Amino acid sequence: MSTESLVAPGSVRPRSGRRSAGRAASTGERNWGAHIVLIIASLAMLFPFLWQIKLSVSSEADIMAVPPTFWPTSFEWQNFVEVFQRLPLLNQFWVSVAVTLLRTGAQIVLCSMAGYAFARMRFPLKGVLLGLILSILMVPGQVYLIPQYQIIQGFGLLDTIVGIALPGLFSAFGTFLMMQFFRSMPLELEQAARLDGCNSWQIFWRVMLPLAKPGIVSLAIITILSSWNDLLWPLVIASSPENMPLSVGLATLQGYRSSIHTGVLMAAALLAMAPVLVSFIILQRRVVEGIAFAGLK
């Protein structure tokens, strides 16, 4: 009689099930830990914004109270009214919108065209021109601030929206970003378009540019944020309050610190930030995709 013992097939299942349950529990614990860390980090990043909202509706006594209070004793909506009294806020808002739209639209067109040319076309001194454009990225903007001012002054565009927007109509970084994107696209698309009788101009506008939507979104996001927050160049160019963008208006408002309290400054900053925040909420998916694409490139 054989001494070998027979093991029923189902007898090993409980042990495997226990292992699976243990792994699931361990994974669940790790997920909970990650969620807790993410929640704490999110609250830490969100706290300054919530604190700004609190300060914008607080009185000076609440702001200077020691220890600080986390809820205002009374809501001072007069802070927002005082912002409109001290600044031509609506005019400055439209100046910021106009400058941002001009720069964004121009960079999408010009940087896309330049990026496509460097990525796909052959022409003399291509490497030299690309090196000159990319070398701009290594030069601080303050270095060519005075030459830019003299050029704008020569054109008679001081204290104008066009003068503020003009230096930002083209971007070396935007050209590099779009060049990298066009290089990643398959050549077969262009070859098929040429077989259909398209020339280089038609290939760019009808085939390549529509397919470059992720790159365009990335470039638009970067340009919008940099244009909306630009301070140094508009501060040099704009002299009248009506032609200043919001960033310069906030800087001038902060210059009256001796006669204005912190609540008014926070209210002004909140109003200036609101359009970008609302746009981010509406276009959140596109923004995340664009930032991810820019990071990959």
- Please tell me the predicted confidence (pLDDT) of residue 214: 83
| Residue that has been written with the tokens 């970067």 in this structure | 222
Could you tell me what percent of the chain has a pLDDT over 90? 29
Could you tell me what percent of the chain has a pLDDT over 70? 84
Split at pLDDT 50, 70, 90, the class of 28 is low
- Residues 147, 69: Cα–Cα separation, whole Å: 50
Look up residue 127 and give its two tokens.
Answer: 């490497």
CATH architecture of 85-296: Orthogonal Bundle (1.10)
- Please tell me the predicted confidence (pLDDT) of residue 112: 94
- Residues 276, 256: Cα–Cα separation, whole Å: 25
Q: Which helix (H) or strand (E) holds 88?
A: none
Residue 1 has pLDDT above 50, yes or no: no
3-7, 23-27, 172-176, range with greatest mean pLDDT: 172-176
Split at pLDDT 50, 70, 90, the class of 277 is confident
Look up residue 229 and give its two tokens.
Answer: 């927050």
Alpha helices (H) along the chain: 13-56, 60-63, 78-86, 89-120, 126-135, 145-154, 161-165, 172-184, 187-195, 200-202, 209-211, 213-229, 232-237, 246-255, 262-282, 284-296
- Please tell me the predicted confidence (pLDDT) of residue 285: 72
Mean pLDDT, residues 9-16 taken together: 51
Question: The whole model's pTM is what?
Answer: 0.79
Dump the DSSP string for 166-219: GGGS--HHHHHHHHHHHHHS-HHHHHHHHHTT--HHHIIIIIIHHHTHHHHHHH
Average predicted confidence (pLDDT) for the chain: 83
